Structure 1
């Protein structure tokens, strides 16, 4: 896994960020004392929930921000994107992390607006490849075209020596082992990204719309990313999908992009997201990205996810608003993005996205 930063986004350090927000919250009268001591007046607790795919990155962000702000505690429950959005919209957490943007068709945009009293903010914070992981005895390397992947998870390709898999791997020795496809059993943003890829890149082999909930009765279900990895690793002839940062010792297939077989990488995910536009139908402050799943750009890996931080534009408590603003700003800063790259192998969000996201986060305030 390549953990090298692809782009550094100009921003101040975590300590400087924390100091700036502390001064904004407490007034400029004590600016000199704080600046000379390097301390932070931020204190209190933030609760978040959501994406299990970005758990490693979130652990790094929490540690980095709390180190610079000793009076702050950030809690994060990696319960899955669906659970995180549900908790946020119900007012149970201060922010959510989701591997899929709020879904207007399922009422998530309206529910977030009701919770916040205005349209929620939604900014990208994590770009990472989704690996097609497999556990097939005697097979160490595997190429899978999008149509082949779609056929496997749709239940149309049933054995590992199927003609479609042989065509993708003409030199491989493939066993006649039955394929056991594993899907997430919980409501998952990773699943939504994966099914979006199958629908758009699968050349008709997948006929179901993108969804956080696995849309068909097939294969084996596993709860959260850890459950997916455990099920694939402990099975026979198994195949599944998970954020690359979480795959551990499992093997990952290369997918076909144009005429090239492309392994999952942070660089490839970054190239895919950079080629994708923002969804201009979303409310102001909502930076949902329309990922181009069929890009043929050299080196791009379009089977990937863009995760989001979801928060309110205003909070009842001034200190809470300062904490949310401070933490989110740290996450999307150069320092925060580098922490995620170093600890989770993710790609920094594109500079143009980071600039817009910072402007949105800067607007967070107390009511």
Structure 2
């Protein structure tokens, strides 16, 4: 499915109102339109990638195009891996990705970028990853990372397994078989989920984090919506998805330190704020190494940072200006407020937003 400038009227109305109400809050990151001054931007902008960004992108597009009526923005939520491939091949002007560019991707060329230039990762969207489940008679569920890892490895196969029962002494757990649903496509959400297991349950989960799910166990489903549908329509199912898509499904609490913690936007933002940048990359690249090992129960370490992957210099300068304007809006206070309202995203910290703004100022 492609999101275009002809989004749902209700979304446009809500998001436009949000954008107009906050238009003075961050001048440098607001789309080029102010009261009494028409936008000078024109053209068509194409992005592809992260399905976790889907709700936010739909809202961002509606608001940005309200402020810039001569701009059309198209976004295909095809998944992070597919989005990066599309961008690398020149099929889009930017990519949305829940995992930052790999070293081998950075070593190659990017068709949309000017010769001699490269691409960088700019954080625009922070969201918890929800462990969603659908088990008859179970409303609340606690899981630690070892147990979660064993479920997705296929080593724990029924809901009344002693390991799950020990974490949920007040629950009546059925003998129902567990169906663990994972992404079948290359997914940054998968990379973040498996990175959490790899760091916090290293004795159980030994596969290094990657966009493709590494095992043959469980059931695969394409895209965030596919995982949510499979969990919703299945029996005894469990999966992982961007929290904005959890809907009415059960959501497990995960163990952080000595407590079981549910996700919140604030808890997700807190983890990212305390996490360093990835070492050894260009100073303009803002890829983040998330601290999954925190024991602070005010933090939620099962979180994703989703990036706008953009050129440092575009072969087509006009497209570069469009990308710069749109990503500046996404990462600015207006865009972050819209994403929070549309999908429950956690806002970028002021420090991180300032870093993104500084990099965008250098893009050509």
- TM-score norm. by structure 2 comes to 0.90
The answer to whether structure 1 residue 123 and structure 2 residue 138 are counterparts is no
**1:13 to 1:358, Cα distance in 2 relative to 1, 3 A:** closer
Q: Is the 8 A contact 1:43 1:71 kept in 2?
A: yes
Equivalent runs, 1:54-69 vs 2, <5 Å: 54-69=53-68
Equivalent runs, 1:1-367 vs 2, <5 Å: 11-12=26-27, 17-19=31-33, 37-104=36-103, 107-112=104-109, 116=113, 117=115, 118-365=117-364
Following superposition, the deviation at residue 200 of structure 1 comes to 0.5
**1:114 to 1:94, Cα distance in 2 relative to 1, 3 A:** closer
Aligned equivalents of 2:207 and 2:316: distance in 1?
43
Q: Is the 8 A contact 1:11 1:334 kept in 2?
A: yes
CA RMSD between the two structures: 1.6
Following superposition, the deviation at residue 112 of structure 1 comes to 4.8
Aligned equivalents of 2:255 and 2:25: distance in 1?
34
Aligned equivalents of 2:257 and 2:272: distance in 1?
16
Q: Is the 8 A contact 1:13 1:335 kept in 2?
A: no
Aligned equivalents of 1:56 and 1:48: distance in 2?
14
Runs of 4+ more than 6 Å apart: none
Following superposition, the deviation at residue 284 of structure 1 comes to 2.6
Secondary structure at the aligned position of 1:308 is classed as strand
Aligned equivalents of 1:270 and 1:245: distance in 2?
15
Q: Is the 8 A contact 2:261 2:300 kept in 1?
A: yes
Aligned equivalents of 2:174 and 2:28: distance in 1?
53
Aligned equivalents of 1:74 and 1:115: distance in 2?
17
Following superposition, the deviation at residue 281 of structure 1 comes to 1.2
Aligned equivalents of 2:67 and 2:268: distance in 1?
30
Q: Is the 8 A contact 2:59 2:342 kept in 1?
A: yes
Q: Is the 8 A contact 2:89 2:111 kept in 1?
A: no
- TM-score norm. by structure 1 comes to 0.89
Q: Is the 8 A contact 1:133 1:240 kept in 2?
A: yes
Any unmatched runs of 5+ in structure 2?
Answer: 1-23
Aligned equivalents of 2:109 and 2:347: distance in 1?
26
Q: Is the 8 A contact 2:128 2:302 kept in 1?
A: yes
Secondary structure at the aligned position of 1:150 is classed as helix
Aligned equivalents of 1:112 and 1:274: distance in 2?
31
1:297-326 alpha-carbon deviations (Å, 9 max, x no partner): 231100010000001111233321211110
Aligned equivalents of 2:356 and 2:84: distance in 1?
19
Q: Is the 8 A contact 2:331 2:353 kept in 1?
A: yes
Query: Which shows bigger deviation, 311-320 or 328-337?
Result: 311-320
Q: Is the 8 A contact 1:88 1:112 kept in 2?
A: no
Aligned equivalents of 1:37 and 1:249: distance in 2?
43
Aligned equivalents of 1:230 and 1:91: distance in 2?
32
Secondary structure at the aligned position of 1:37 is classed as coil
Any unmatched runs of 5+ in structure 1?
Answer: 1-8, 20-34
Q: Is the 8 A contact 2:142 2:255 kept in 1?
A: yes
**1:197 to 1:112, Cα distance in 2 relative to 1, 3 A:** farther
Aligned equivalents of 1:242 and 1:36: distance in 2?
39
Following superposition, the deviation at residue 77 of structure 1 comes to 0.1
